[in-house]
Amino acid sequence: MDEKLKIKISIADRVYPLTVDFTQEEGLRSASKKIDAMIKQFEENYAVRDKQDVLAMCALQFASQAEQKQIDNAINGEETIERLNKINLLLDEYLEN
């Protein structure tokens, strides 16, 4: 079924009503908790003027983490292909003998 839920997510002391798929609820609630925890951390550790600055810092942090994961996955993908090619060469050599 394609059930939709109406939920309220709180981020930076603001409530956002959302209509989401049932399967998205847990992820959205978890993300909002992580955002609020990051906001608290930035407010405690840096001199920030307002919530907009903190939210921008959070957005940059999350975006950079996502980008780094893509870079890491691309590197790991290249290493995997290289290993598979080496195994393939070894198998070819073995089968030729």
Tens-digit pLDDT profile for the chain (97 aa)?
578 999 999 999 999 999 999 999 999 999 999 999 999 999 999 888 788 999 999 999 999 999 998 888 878 777 888 888 899 888 888 888 7
pLDDT at residue 26, as a whole number: 96
List the beta bridge partners of residue 17.
8
Query: Would you give the DSSP letter of residue 9?
Result: E
pLDDT at residue 1, as a whole number: 57
- Cα separation of 68 and 3, whole Å? 34
pLDDT at residue 72, as a whole number: 83
List the beta bridge partners of residue 21.
4
* Token digits of residue 16: 């956002």
